[in-house]
A and B are shown apart, each in its own frame.
Chain A
Amino acid sequence: MTAIAKDDHILRVEGLQKIFNQHLAEPVEAVQDVSFQVRSNELTVLLGPSGCGKSTVLRVIAGLELPSSGKIIHGDQVVNGPARSRGMVFQSYTSFEWLTVAKNIEYGMKLHAVEPVIRKERVEHYLELVGLADFRNAYPKQLSGGMKQRVAIARTLANEPELLLMDEPFGALDAETRWNMQELLISLAQSTQTTIILVTHDLSEALFLGDRIIFFSKRPATIISDMPVAFKNKKRFARKEDILSEAKYKDAEQELMRLMRSQSNI
């Protein structure tokens, strides 16, 4: 790892390009030339049409893929692989089904030999935060999709990452649960002060959750627009219906919809 001078950005993506070499097919360029920075405590949404390469950007940030050129600098280190400091929540359910809810949440801390007393405290804390206190001894098989995602989020947060990376975390959930989980995420972002980067293709989700939205072109991904969600005035809304009464909400959604249409493959 190379040491890099510090500034107020916790993460810097510099000239990221990602090409996938395929078996029996031409190489695919998923990400072309992407650069952006992320500040501490910011909730950044990566938005773009399906299959545009935004998830690849997130996976490279996580260290699950290495860039073909360019680099990711997290803190003062160049990312060269996955690390505890960059926790990831996936769209598909990743609860360890052989562990109870409490043991799932404890999992990361156990890997790093966190003291049992602290472990227990944090498990309780996060069980409470995600509203699963009554399910601490349940196994994932017994949980609904939304609850499984709560387990995944609690497990990642309990491991105290500097960055929480989320790849369409609510994409598999029904509308009501998704809405509910979005509000939960806002409250978690507030209470844990975690920096979050979230990938979605859902416009209303992007507007509700994002402090800032980075919009990607269709594949190969380049940044088309990178702006704070202006009408929110740096506020976060706790309830989804409150955002609808904002005068500028419709304009913002309309703007995103136009962008989305301009990049549509269909």
Chain B
Amino acid sequence: MIAPKKRLEIRKPIKRLTSIYLGILIWVIFFGTWQLASSLGWVNALLVPGPIDVIEALRELIFERGFVSDIFDSIWRVVISFLLASAVAIPLGILMGSFHGLESFFNPFVSAWRYLPAPSFIPVLLMWFGTGETPKLALLFIGVVFFLITMVMDYTKKIRVELLETAETLGANRNQLVRTVIIPAVLPDIFIAMRQMLAVTWTYLVIAEIVASTTGIGAMMMRARRFLHTDEIMAGIMIIGVLGLLFDLFFRYLHRKLFAYLY
């Protein structure tokens, strides 16, 4: 046996299990430090309750105070507004990425709207739509749709021209080109764009619910603030994190299922 020379560790692959342990370890350190800071009194326990207190608050919220219906309100808002935004952005983005005329017409408008911060519309949305579901859905929609259009357009424009030319020399007409080449070619990338924008939708959700809502995760957090229930606020943050992660995993799973030919 040759004793291997000690090599530089740069980009050296590690075992999968090691990689998983390392991923868990950082969370253990995070929660451990947090708990220590709280129980050893390094921080004011009223303002920074430890993770155990937060989880206890979460348990109480869920099992004793009907927090589940708030969670479902929030999920519903995200899903509905995101579906609406996708229903507009995906077809429009594909068309803008396919036809220069449509791009020239819509893009100056879409680009400008991307730079208008969606939350700045909250006052007018409240004036126009009152305090029901509509202003919340509208805020999420405005916050996401213009970014999604641009992303879908950019991905559509990145389809290799040889694919389009091949289809043309096989005799495809314009409709067939869009239907049988452009759409299937860009679909996996659209899923990636959706995955990214879904995370943004969650951000706007909390803003919408904090500003103008009596239900939902954000509203619960605002109520808790009034009574200095920091543990409940943190429980809300934790739930949003978990939901975000679950949605992300769901999209990744869907990507692997729908576009298995890429893996």
Contacts and interface: CB of A to CB of B under 8 A. Distances in A.
Most A CB within 10 A of own CB, among B170, B180, B181, B259: B170
Interface secondary structure of B, over-half rule = helix
Interface residues of B, number: 21
Interface of B: 160, 162-163, 165-172, 176, 180-181, 184-185, 187, 259, 261-263
Contacts of A63: 169
A107 B171 contact: no
A155 interface: yes
A64 B181 contact: no
Contacts of A98: 184-185, 187, 259, 261
A87 B162 contact: no
Contacts of B261: 97-98, 139-141
A199 to B, nearest CB: 14
Contact of A94 (B162, B172, B187): B162
Contacts of A88: 165-166, 169
* The 6 A-B residue pairs with the shortest CB-CB distance in the complex, in nearest-first order: A84-B171, A108-B170, A139-B261, A88-B169, A82-B168, A94-B166
A90 B166 contact: yes
A11 to B, nearest CB: 15
Contacts of B167: 107, 111
A55 B36 CA distance: 70
Nearest to A167: B162
Nearest to B258: A98
A156 B170 CA distance: 7
Interface in A86-113: 86-88, 90, 92, 94, 96-98, 107-108, 111-112
Nearest to A62: B169
Which of B168, B176, B184 has the largest count of A CB atoms less than 10 A from its CB? B168
A10 B118 CA distance: 62
A197 interface: no
